[in-house]
Amino acid sequence: MVQTATRNAPLLDCLAGKVAPVPPMWMMRQAGRYLPEYRALRAEKGGFLELVYDSPSAAEITLQPLRRFEFDAAILFSDILIVPYAMGQDLKFLAGEGPHLSPTLVDHALEGLTAVPERLEAIYETVRLVKADLSPDKAFLGFAGSAWTVATYMVNGEGSRDQHATREYAYRDPVAFQAIIDAIVDLTIEYLIGQIDAGVDAVQLFDSWSGSLSPAQFERWVIAPNIRIVAAIHERRPGTPVIGFPKGAGEKLASYARETGVDALGLDETIDPVWAAANIAETMPVQGNLDPLALLAGGEALESAVAHILRTFAGRPHIFNLGHGILQQTPIEHVHALLTLVKRGV
Ligand code: CP3
């Protein structure tokens, strides 16, 4: 349950529709490899998944960026692929290669998997540890992947440039693919409710690969499953805001915002804030959308990109964020410069 009145967290006020002179701010992947203290803990524990499953370490990593920067939110340190892992796929993060899931669902039916729900418990423990330590003016965000994006990894076993295998599978056998989507949706709802009950204030749905779908497929595999997830959260944990982030959705963002029921809309860096201001209801909080490469470059490029975003979203509920995760080569001083620019305003 959100307690905006007693919590006094600016980011939760924004999610409730309040306009602030300085937008609240956090960064996608704010806990991660650009921070030396993250790299040190990762080296000590041996790898990414080892960190996620060591709740005290995962809680510490969640809080690391807030010890350095005046962000308005902590985001749970975990990964969207914990859901397939709990559905019974094996998960490995190989150095320099990204995630691998097996068996892939192209060759094996969903029925071949045995669910391992205990794999979610450590994540809830991380939430409880962070919650106990988080200052009340900070929002705590939980998250999950959207069903489509999670399915692309489950079907193909790893990331791919254009999600070819999964898009083809969805056309070839829509009944089997629908069963995969439904199973992901069902577990995602329980997982998000578990996070909320353990202490997160709001949740974000990451749909990183929604951009590869044709409009009709987008309706079926992005909008429809998200309607189910958002409705279940709203019904079962009323007052918990849901931020939808359909990366790459382009002009389909407008129907996504109207139809899914999300409380706020994440924008990636390819969206012109001017387009978003004109096409997304003025009352819907928007989040974004600085190009992570402008942050990496710094200087004049950073200043003008930040000014354009602040100017365009002034007067409407806006959470300042990147359009996608911070890049690991980003200098820490650039993050300090960004905070100064956002807090100073235009
Ligand atoms: O934003 C945050 O700081 C919260 C934590 C978080 C992670 N992954 C940590 C992570 C979140 C919200 C995610 C989401 C996620 N994971 C997405 C959706 C958002 C996006 O980035 O598009 C996706 C597609 C994944 C799957 C995933 N996890 C990939 C493809 C990779 C490898 C690529 C990479 O950046 O290394 C990961 C690993 C991962 N997840 C890391 C972190 C900090 C890097 C792990 C490491 O090497 O230390």
Distance 221 CA to ligand 1 centre (A): 22
Task: For residue 308, count other CB atoms closer than 10 A to its CB.
Answer: 15
Domain ranges of the chain: 10-344
Atom of ligand 1 nearest to the CA of 47: 48
What pLDDT digit, counting tens, does each position of 25-51 carry? Answer: 999 999 999 999 999 999 999 999 999
Cβ-proximal residues to 151 (8 Å cutoff; 6+ apart), any chain: 166, 177, 180, 181, 184, 221
- Of 284, 282, 293, 285, the C-alpha closest to 323 is 293
Q: What is the mean pLDDT of the chain?
A: 95
Distance 209 CA to ligand 1 centre (A): 13
pLDDT range class, residue 4, cuts 50, 70, 90: very low
pLDDT score of 94: 87
Q: Is 324 exposed, middle or buried (0-12, 13-18, 19+ CB in 10 A)?
A: buried
pLDDT score of 149: 97
Secondary structure class of 206 (helix, strand, coil):
strand
Mutation test residue for ligand 1: of 79, 126, 222, the one with most atoms within 8 Å of CB = 79
Atom of ligand 1 nearest to the CA of 51: 48
CA distance 333 to 193: 37
Percent of the chain with pLDDT over 70: 97
What pLDDT digit, counting tens, does each position of 107-119 carry? Answer: 667 888 999 999 9
pLDDT score of 106: 80
Instruction: Catalytic residue, from 54, 79, 201, 207: name it.
Output: 79
pLDDT at 255 > cutoff 90: yes
**Residue 245 near ligand 1, beta carbon < 6 Å:** no
Distance 314 CA to ligand 1 centre (A): 30
**Residue 29 near ligand 1, beta carbon < 6 Å:** yes
Distance 171 CA to ligand 1 centre (A): 28
pLDDT range class, residue 6, cuts 50, 70, 90: low
For the chain, what percentages of helix, strand and coil (3-state, to nearest 5) are there?
55, 15, 35
**Residue 119 near ligand 1, beta carbon < 6 Å:** no
Is 42 considered catalytic here?
Answer: yes
What pLDDT digit, counting tens, does each position of 177-222 carry? Answer: 999 999 999 999 999 999 999 999 999 999 999 999 999 999 999 9
Distance 79 CA to ligand 1 centre (A): 6
Percent of the chain with pLDDT over 90: 93
In the CATH hierarchy, which top-level class contains the domain 10-344? alpha beta
What's the chain's Rg over C-alpha atoms? Answer: 19
Across 235-260, average pLDDT: 97
pLDDT range class, residue 307, cuts 50, 70, 90: very high
pLDDT score of 283: 97
Is 33 considered catalytic here?
Answer: yes
Helix axes 55-68, 36-45, angle to 10 degrees: 170
Across 141-164, average pLDDT: 95
pLDDT range class, residue 3, cuts 50, 70, 90: very low
